[in-house]
Amino acid sequence: MSGRILVVDELALLETVEVDVVLSDLNMRGMDGFALCERVVANRPDLPVVVITAFGSLETAIAAIRAGAYDFITKPVKMDALAVALARAQRFEELIGDSPAMRKLHQLLDRVADSDASVLITGESGTGKEVVAKALHRRGRRKDGPLVAINCAAMPEQLLESELFGHVRGAFTDARAARTGLFVQANGGTLLLDEIGDLPLALQPKLLRALQERTVRPIGGSEEVAFDVRLVATTNRDLESAVEEGLFREDLYFRINVIPVETPPLRARGNDVLLLAQHFLVHFAEKARKSVTGLSPPAAERLLAYAWPGNVRELQNSMERAVALTQYEQITVDDLPEKIRAYRPSHVLIAADDPSELVPLEEMERRYILRVMEAVGGNRTLAAKVLRIGRKTLYRKLALGGAATGHE
């Protein structure tokens, strides 16, 4: 595992400096690890926290997990255990999927990863635009540089201007000390402007000038400061319509939209639903210390049939809820949210309201395997992964059912 290590004394830095995982002691001066977990979860719910403590009791572990920690390790820390915990936490934000839409996205990211051209990532809310931005940064030649992110919709105009460009001491009432702006903090790396469609109109010409000149002037300052960053922006708004309505500058739109990247909605990703569901299921089962291994066939059918208006974020939330509620090793239909349970797909495995159509368990299993094979485009290796069985077991079940089809 490679990358930069940042020693952070102020939690406020986590709101601007992009990190993959937080490693924290439970016993610290000024704030205990439980409070830190709660703060991080409240402000950065996407950021996993791994806590370290000298007290290895079950009660302490449960308390840390309840506070929001992703994982828990005890002192003395063994480096191999630490490496495993950090790698597992980082994997939570991987780009997962093998659908044609995701393969196309991966190919595009690979082609443009080393370019310095600005990238605009668009897509519906919940499709994982920030995850795509992080993946783009990690694949490019700037991967060893900082990834600095800010949400343009999360703060008032004056504060946002100060965050982006910096300020000198005394520039305004509360400017008791000089502050380096994010453009300079991201020097040598990537600056991620999340929700750029909400950037105040008054700041747009200043951003445009910075991108054109590759310099910024801190608020109250008289000197230009050069920077070297790649700009990546995300939005779920239709910026072309915003331009027509006078809400977004056309010249800025062209400047940030050199390389357009669209994140596909979950409803267009077919087979990826089960892969993502399994990924989230394992994550939340580990976090809750529960033995939940997979989805029941009827539950998987509901997930495949549902339209997912909230996209990946809705699926993640649904799996967290299901893991918390389930009393079994497999997620059942009853563990799913009501709107998913109430959905009646046209291709249900059995018609339970008609006893004459009930089938033996082996036949139900055969139908489900064929449904999964269809969903993954006949890829037996991928189907085995979704079903959580070995490939030889899958081949045998397909042969017994007279359906020895598909490809590797």
- Residue 361 reports pLDDT greater than 60: yes
**Range with lowest mean pLDDT among 97-101, 171-175, 250-254, 325-329:** 171-175
Tokens of 347: 């291709």
Ramachandran category for residue 268: left, alpha or beta (phi over 0 → left; psi -120 to 50 → alpha): alpha
Give the pairing type, strands 71-74 and 330-331: unpaired
CATH superfamily placement of domain 100-264: P-loop containing nucleotide triphosphate hydrolases (3.40.50.300)
Q: Over 90: is that where the pLDDT of 195 sits?
A: yes
Indicate the pairing of strand 119-122 with strand 215-216: unpaired
Q: Please report the pLDDT score of residue 97 as a whole number.
A: 86
DSSP for 319-347, please give it: HHHHHHH--SSEE-GGGS-HHHHT---TT
Q: Which residues, listed in sequence order, are joined to residue 52 by a DSSP beta bridge?
A: 25, 73
Q: How far apart are CA 345 and CA 336, in angstroms?
A: 15
Can you name the CATH fold of 11-91?
Answer: Rossmann fold (3.40.50)
Outline which parts of the chain fall under CATH 1.10.8.60: 268-400
Location of each CATH 3.40.50.2300 domain in the chain: 11-91
- Collapsed DSSP state (helix, strand, coil) of residue 149: strand
Q: How far is CA 142 from CA 8, 14, 135, 229, 322, in A?
A: 22, 20, 12, 9, 39
Residue 270 pLDDT greater than 60, yes or no:
yes
For β-strands 225-226 and 215-216, DSSP reports them as antiparallel
Mean pLDDT, rounded, for 73-93:
70
pLDDT (0 to 100) of residue 245: 93
As a whole number, the mean pLDDT across the chain is: 82
State mean pLDDT over 261-288. Answer: 90
Q: Which residues of 137-167 are buried (b: 16+ CB within 10 A; e: fewer)?
A: bbebebbebbbbbbbbeeeeeeebbbbbbbb
Give per-residue pLDDT as tens, 378-393.
778 777 777 777 777 8
224 torsion bin: left (phi>0), alpha (psi -120 to 50), beta (else)? beta
For 30-50, the pLDDT digits (tens) are 667 777 777 776 666 557 788
Contact 221, 182 (CB under 8 A): no
What's the pLDDT at 351? Answer: 47
Write the single-letter amino acid at 8.
Answer: V
Confidence of residue 178 (pLDDT cuts 50, 70, 90): confident
**Contacts of residue 265, Cβ cutoff 8 Å, sequence gap at least 6:** 123, 124, 127, 308, 311
pTM of this prediction? 0.66
- Of residues 372 and 314, more confidence is placed in 314
Residue 301 pLDDT > 60: yes
Q: Are 406 and 379 in contact (CB under 8 A)?
A: yes
Sequence ranges of the chain with CATH classification 3.40.50.300? 100-264
Q: Report the percent of the chain where pLDDT is more than 70.
A: 79
Q: How far is CA 65 from CA 27, 86, 197, 302, in A?
A: 15, 16, 36, 30
CA atoms within 13 A on the CB side of 290: 23
- Res. 170: pLDDT tops 60: yes
**Which amino acid is present at 398?**
L
Per-residue model confidence as pLDDT tens digits over 224-260: 999 999 999 999 999 999 999 999 999 999 999 999 9
Most confident stretch, 10-14, 26-30, 158-162, 168-172: 158-162
Q: Give me the mean pLDDT over the 49-61 stretch.
A: 67
Q: Is 383 exposed, middle or buried (0-12, 13-18, 19+ CB in 10 A)?
A: buried
Distance, CA of 121 to CA of 232 (rounded, Å): 7
Mean pLDDT of 267-290: 89
Q: How far apart are CA 176 and CA 143, in angstroms?
A: 34
pLDDT at 357: 52
268-400 CATH fold:
Helicase, Ruva Protein; domain 3 (1.10.8)
Q: Who's near 105: CB < 8 A, 6+ residues apart?
A: 95, 132, 261, 263, 264
Instruction: Pick 368 or 215 by higher pLDDT.
Output: 215
